[in-house]
Amino acid sequence: MHETFNLFSAISLAIFIEAMPFLVVGALFSSIIEVFVSTQRIIRLVPRNIAGGLLLGIGSGFVLPTCECGVVPIVRRLINKGVPPYIAIAYMLAAPIVNPVVLASTYIAFRGSIPMVFARIALAIIVAAIVALIARQLVSVVRPVKHSGHHHTDEHEHHFHHHDHSNESLIQKIIATLRHAAVEFMDMGKYLILGAIIAGAFKTFLPVDTMAYFSNNLALSIAGMMILAILLSVCSEADAFVAASFVGFPAAAQLAFIGIGPMIDLKLIGMYGLAFKRAMVITLLIVPFVIIYFTTLLIGSFDLLSI
């Protein structure tokens, strides 16, 4: 029993230690963007055609890193300032996945697997584009809720996202960045700890026969990993390390885990409900799940990640 507990502790700690540096970098980059990048500059870049709008929304995710924890209030503010909802939605779904910090963590977590990195990018782009196009049709119901009636909504604005830093001095901005990064790291860190503990428990205490049953059934393993990702709510900077720890599972199931987690999890479901109207919330919860499940099932069926 003592050896089993030691194994559980070692696995959980290893996952946390591997992922923690990326969590720190991710929180810092996200805070720099929040404090130093003006939303007005982004609004001036908005193109008039749909293709250009999608390119801006998804492309911004590559250069403006942010975690899924903080992107919802940013998107709500952008829409209120005049950014077309479909562009903001595309950014919201793509940015937590395609940004350089997350891609680097994915590359390292999966031991230099280029196919896994590109598959994650492709999956994010496909889902973001489709949901954004649906959002464009739902423009009359996509507008963020002006007032939720809940006192804790301000806290859900995620740290300092509702603050205006444009008139602050450089020193004040640096201090605000560090404060923002510290709070964001602490907030994301608790989910990483929980994810590492549960992943360690699965690998240590779950009977081998049960793990083998799931890992040998592609459809079941994908569904199981997607549900686990939603429940664990691990931030995108660290989720690849949790997914990669399930070494006996198909690569497609691991891809499903890191695909769905940044788009749907327990904390995001609550934030979606506060920020968007019903039709948009339903779209955000159903469409990504369906697309990711069947896409990864197709990828796994043809073993495309081993090419």
Predicted confidence band of residue 139 (pLDDT cuts 50, 70, 90):
low
Please report the pLDDT score of residue 216 as a whole number: 94
Which run of H or of E encompasses 156?
Answer: helix 153-156
Please report the pLDDT score of residue 143 as a whole number: 53
Contacts of 259 (CB under 8 A, 6+ apart): 97, 120, 123, 124, 127, 292, 296
**275-290 pLDDT, tens per residue?**
888 999 999 999 999 9
**What is the Cα Rg of the chain in Å?**
19
Does residue 150 carry a pLDDT above 50? Answer: no
- What average pLDDT does this structure show over 88-97? 96
Please report the pLDDT score of residue 9 as a whole number: 94
d(CA 124, CA 287): 12
Give the Cα-Cα-Cα angle 168, 169, 171 (nearest 5 degrees).
120
Distances (CA, A) of 47 to 50, 86, 131: 8, 12, 19
Please report the pLDDT score of residue 151 as a whole number: 44
**240-252 pLDDT, tens per residue?**
999 999 998 999 9
Q: Whose CA is closest to 253, among 295, 197, 286?
A: 295
**21-45 pLDDT, tens per residue?**
998 888 888 788 778 877 777 778 8
164, with CB counted inside 10 A (0-12, 13-18, 19+), is: exposed
Please report the pLDDT score of residue 224 as a whole number: 96
Predicted confidence band of residue 142 (pLDDT cuts 50, 70, 90):
low
